[in-house]
Amino acid sequence: MAEAATMEPTVESAESESHDFQAETQALLSLVINSLYTHREVFLRELISNASDALDKARVRSLTEHDLLGEDKKLEVVIRPDKAAKTLTIADSGVGMTREELQRFLGTIAFSGSKEFAKRLSGDAAKDASLIGQFGVGFYSAFLVAERVDVTSRAAGVTEAEQAWRWSSAADGKFALAPATRARRGTDVVLHLRDEHLEFLETWKLRELVRKYSDFVGYPISLETEETEGEGADEKTARSCEVINRGTALWTRPKAEVTDEQYAEFYKHVSHDWDEPLARTHFTVEGQQLFTGLLFLPKHAPFDLFHRDGRSGIKLYVKRVFVMEECKALLPEYLRFVRGVIDSDDLPLNVSREVLQHDRHVEQIQRTVARKTVDMLEELAKERPDDYATFWREFGVVLKEGLHLDHDLKDRLAKLCRWESSGREGLTSLADYVARMPEGQPAIYYISGQDKAFLAKSPHIEGLKAKGWEVLYFTDAVDEWVATAVPEFEGKKLVSATKGAFSADGEQKADADPKADPEWGGLLELMKNALGDRVKAVRMTDRLTESPVCLVAGEHDLGANLERILKQHAPNQAMLGGKRTLELNGKHPLLQNLKRLQPDLSQREHLREWTEVLYDQALLTEGSPIADPVLFAERMSKLLLEVSSRALGAPAAEAPAADAPAAPKLEA
Ligand code: ADP
């Protein structure tokens, strides 16, 4: 008896999540159908890929579970068109699925990512279509051509033919699970084709599609055909079966013989991506190690790029035999976006993950894979800068991790980094930056913060821009660590626009004693006294041209942006950064005024209060919180009242809550 099951992501609570899941299923199915209706034929590729993965799993498990395959050692895919029944069956002798697995794998969308997927749906068809690639929802493509799909599966190791299960759905938000029989281990995916898609029962069509999409699958793909002879009572149906893929591993073929289309199809097969790859590299390494690699860069970041146990994209083969999915040991972490295969001639066939982690050969393979990937990125950056920019926007943040982690390749990785800058639209590299540096510019300048528009207006870079010196915008949180990993590039230091004393020769100078400054010394001392412990010092600067003041960190201190980032991660930590220095723009008329008022004792209180206002202003313009916004607003109102009263020619009225200058407070 067929058992109706609600489609929910966990097995335990049948009722609770069904509504949720139907919304996701509906969204996903209409997405698949709407965005792929012009490419219906890809359903075959997806189902063959799933079959091939199931065969891989059976083969790998049989290495340790010696009885798993029993007598039936044949690993194959069979395609069975049936014109009378209008069905197309894709059968495999792979691992199969238990009842629970059928429910879990086919009952939830792309399983691990289903919630994430639903969250990211935007309703914009073009954007949502690219999600399909990130989540790999291959099985559902069956509904591009079928009105109903039955999946009958018997898990490997199950001995009774009756212990199979049938999953069946018409894509209407429900599926049914029922006991079934299957003579062998494996899975039959039976598509009940819609009338308008019966062409997929034609043998010539199936041959063409397998050739186009799945030729390199490493297991035989057989096409079963029926020939009817005779008539009436003499009618006989003869079945024949013919292998229709070449099955040669694509990476073993000479590069010159493989077309771009074949590479792209192979990529889609291994990555479960729907989009073309952005770039590829295909190489054979000889010497101490013999191995072949075929690696690809995807166009889009997968949803789990930053998940601790996100998927990794390298499949390991040993002498053309599949050994391991998601082989993390072959790739450094910071290249985890690479997809493809490595085929080693030296590793043992029964190699385990544990062994791989400590194997010397594997370490060498990893080094080579990293180098080859960087070669590929360099070539992409040089030959197709626009595509490289696409890569950078998707994966740059991850690649930058390598600056800290990969000592050997650090210099090459630094050259691959890109940022936006004050100098030009679009992304720039350090090399281009240096090439544009005008005579006399001593260093490479950067400013870090969350967003480019905000940084572009920062007081800290006024002086640099006025000199025609370009400033890089470090807008990723990881950029804060870039400058420590790459302290200089082509002999030029990387200098933060918000740290250290600004000097036109790039050299840091110690703070002079205010007393030694006959012109500004008095004001500097007064302001330092007003601000007390909140600042390390108050000094004059050439950093500013338009703004009156700004705050800067010590050359080796954290800086406001990093402090903000760290606070987000550990909000309860006490003040992390060192004290900062308030810098004054001596050319600003406001400060000129303050300097002139400073000797006048009757103005002391005013000067102290205005110092508070200027200090809060400096915090606001760099995007930092101020300690007491209400007090700041009161002070501003009081000042505006004075100015407006003066404009009316009236004596300044008493402000309602005229505070005495506040006692110094620490920032929150
Ligand atoms: P993906 O293949 O990207 O994981 P699918 O929706 O195509 O997503 O498949 C979901 C899961 O269902 C697979 O990961 C696999 O575990 C299981 N599955 C699909 N087809 C088969 C098959 N022919 N044999 C065994 N398991 C399968």
- Residue minimizing CA distance to atom 18 of ligand 1: 50
Judge whether residue 124 has pLDDT over 80: no
Strands 77-82, 419-421: pairing is unpaired
Best mutation site among 36, 105, 131 for ligand 1, i.e. most ligand atoms within 8 A of its Cβ?
A: 105
CB count within 10 Å of CB 262 equals 16
State the pLDDT at residue 465. 94
State the pLDDT at residue 574. 59
Phi (first) and psi of residue 261, to 5 degrees: -65, -40
In the 3-class helix/strand/coil scheme, how is 153-179 assigned residue by residue?
A: EECCCCCCCCCEEEEEECCCCCEEEEE
| Mean pLDDT along residues 387-416 | 95
- Rounded to the nearest angstrom, the distance between the alpha carbon of 50 and the centre of ligand 1 is 5
State the pLDDT at residue 25. 61
pLDDT band at 651 (very low <50, low <70, confident <90, very high): low
- Rounded to the nearest angstrom, the distance between the alpha carbon of 139 and the centre of ligand 1 is 7
∠ CA 631-633-637, rounded to 5°? 115
Best mutation site among 28, 47, 139 for ligand 1, i.e. most ligand atoms within 8 A of its Cβ?
A: 139
| Mean pLDDT along residues 570-590 | 81
- Residue minimizing CA distance to atom 12 of ligand 1: 105
State the pLDDT at residue 48. 93
Q: Which atom of ligand 1 is nearest to the CA of 138?
A: 7
User: Domains in the chain, start-ordered, CATH in brackets?
Assistant: 25-243 (3.30.565.10), 250-385 (3.30.230.80), 418-496 (3.40.50.11260), 514-647 (1.20.120.790)
Low-confidence winner among 73-77, 352-356, 589-593 (lowest mean pLDDT): 352-356
State the pLDDT at residue 664. 44
Contact 630, 612 (CB under 8 A): no
Residue 111's SS3 state is helix
Q: Which atom of ligand 1 is nearest to the CA of 137?
A: 6
State the pLDDT at residue 463. 94
Contact 376, 281 (CB under 8 A): yes
pLDDT band at 565 (very low <50, low <70, confident <90, very high): confident
Low-confidence winner among 6-10, 76-80, 403-407 (lowest mean pLDDT): 6-10
- Rounded to the nearest angstrom, the distance between the alpha carbon of 110 and the centre of ligand 1 is 8
- Rounded to the nearest angstrom, the distance between the alpha carbon of 615 and the centre of ligand 1 is 61
Give percent of the chain above pLDDT 70.
85
Contact 667, 619 (CB under 8 A): yes
Q: Among candidates 275, 297, 313, 295, which has minimal Cα distance to 387?
A: 297
State the pLDDT at residue 116. 63
Helices vs strands, H then E, count in the chain: 20, 23
pLDDT band at 20 (very low <50, low <70, confident <90, very high): very low
Residue 305's SS3 state is coil
Contact 277, 263 (CB under 8 A): yes
- Residue minimizing CA distance to atom 10 of ligand 1: 105
Judge whether residue 22 has pLDDT over 50: no
Low-confidence winner among 209-213, 421-425, 573-577 (lowest mean pLDDT): 573-577
State the pLDDT at residue 172. 76
Judge whether residue 419 has pLDDT over 70: yes
Q: What is the tens place of the pLDDT at every residue in 163-177? A: 999 999 887 777 888
- Could you identify the residue written with the tokens 């890929």? 49
- Residue minimizing CA distance to atom 21 of ligand 1: 50
Q: What's the CA gap between 107 and 176, in Å, rounded? A: 10
Q: What is the tens place of the pLDDT at every residue in 520-556? A: 999 999 999 999 999 999 999 999 999 999 999 988 8
- Rounded to the nearest angstrom, the distance between the alpha carbon of 140 and the centre of ligand 1 is 10
Q: Among candidates 133, 115, 170, 117, which has minimal Cα distance to 36?
A: 133
Contact 458, 447 (CB under 8 A): yes
Secondary structure of the chain: what % helix, strand, coil (to 5)? 45, 20, 35
Q: What is the tens place of the pLDDT at every residue in 345-369? A: 888 777 777 778 778 888 899 999 9
State the pLDDT at residue 176. 87
pLDDT band at 125 (very low <50, low <70, confident <90, very high): low
Q: Among candidates 505, 510, 506, which has minimal Cα distance to 495?
A: 506
Judge whether residue 47 has pLDDT over 70: yes
Contact 242, 81 (CB under 8 A): no
pLDDT band at 14 (very low <50, low <70, confident <90, very high): very low
- Rounded to the nearest angstrom, the distance between the alpha carbon of 501 and the centre of ligand 1 is 60
Q: Which atom of ligand 1 is nearest to the CA of 90?
A: 23
pLDDT band at 17 (very low <50, low <70, confident <90, very high): very low
- Rounded to the nearest angstrom, the distance between the alpha carbon of 81 and the centre of ligand 1 is 21
Q: What is the tens place of the pLDDT at every residue in 440-479? A: 999 999 999 888 999 999 999 999 999 999 999 999 988 9
Q: Which atom of ligand 1 is nearest to the CA of 94?
A: 24
State the pLDDT at residue 113. 53
Handedness of CA 130, 133, 134, 139 (dihedral sign): positive
Q: Among candidates 6, 36, 31, which has minimal Cα distance to 21?
A: 6
State the pLDDT at residue 611. 97
- Rounded to the nearest angstrom, the distance between the alpha carbon of 277 and the centre of ligand 1 is 22
DSSP state of 251: G
Q: What's the CA gap between 266 and 264, in Å, rounded? A: 5
Q: Among candidates 139, 141, 121, which has minimal Cα distance to 131?
A: 121
Best mutation site among 24, 53, 109 for ligand 1, i.e. most ligand atoms within 8 A of its Cβ?
A: 53
Q: Which two tokens stand for residue 551?
A: 């705050």
- Rounded to the nearest angstrom, the distance between the alpha carbon of 238 and the centre of ligand 1 is 32
- Rounded to the nearest angstrom, the distance between the alpha carbon of 293 and the centre of ligand 1 is 25
pLDDT band at 202 (very low <50, low <70, confident <90, very high): very high
Q: Which atom of ligand 1 is nearest to the CA of 140?
A: 6
Pocket of ligand 1 (CB under 6 A): 50-51, 54, 92, 94-97, 105-106, 110, 136-139, 187, 272
Prediction pTM value? 0.77
Q: How many CA atoms lie within 13 A of 106 on its CB side?
A: 34
State the pLDDT at residue 338. 96
232: left (phi over 0), alpha (psi -120 to 50) or beta: left
Q: Which atom of ligand 1 is nearest to the CA of 49?
A: 2
pLDDT band at 135 (very low <50, low <70, confident <90, very high): low
State the pLDDT at residue 275. 86
State the pLDDT at residue 577. 60
Taking the alpha carbons at both ends of the chain, their separation in whole angstroms is 66
Q: What's the CA gap between 429 and 432, in Å, rounded? A: 5
- Could you identify the residue written with the tokens 């989540």? 135
Q: What is the tens place of the pLDDT at every residue in 269-296? A: 888 887 899 999 999 998 888 999 999 9
Q: How many CA atoms lie within 13 A of 45 on its CB side?
A: 26
Judge whether residue 136 has pLDDT over 70: no
Return mean pLDDT, the chain.
Answer: 85
Amino acid at the residue 286: E
pLDDT band at 660 (very low <50, low <70, confident <90, very high): very low
- Rounded to the nearest angstrom, the distance between the alpha carbon of 78 and the centre of ligand 1 is 17
Query: Could you tell me which residue, 209 or 15, shows the higher pLDDT?
Result: 209
State the pLDDT at residue 459. 95
Low-confidence winner among 271-280, 428-437, 497-506 (lowest mean pLDDT): 497-506
- Rounded to the nearest angstrom, the distance between the alpha carbon of 512 and the centre of ligand 1 is 70
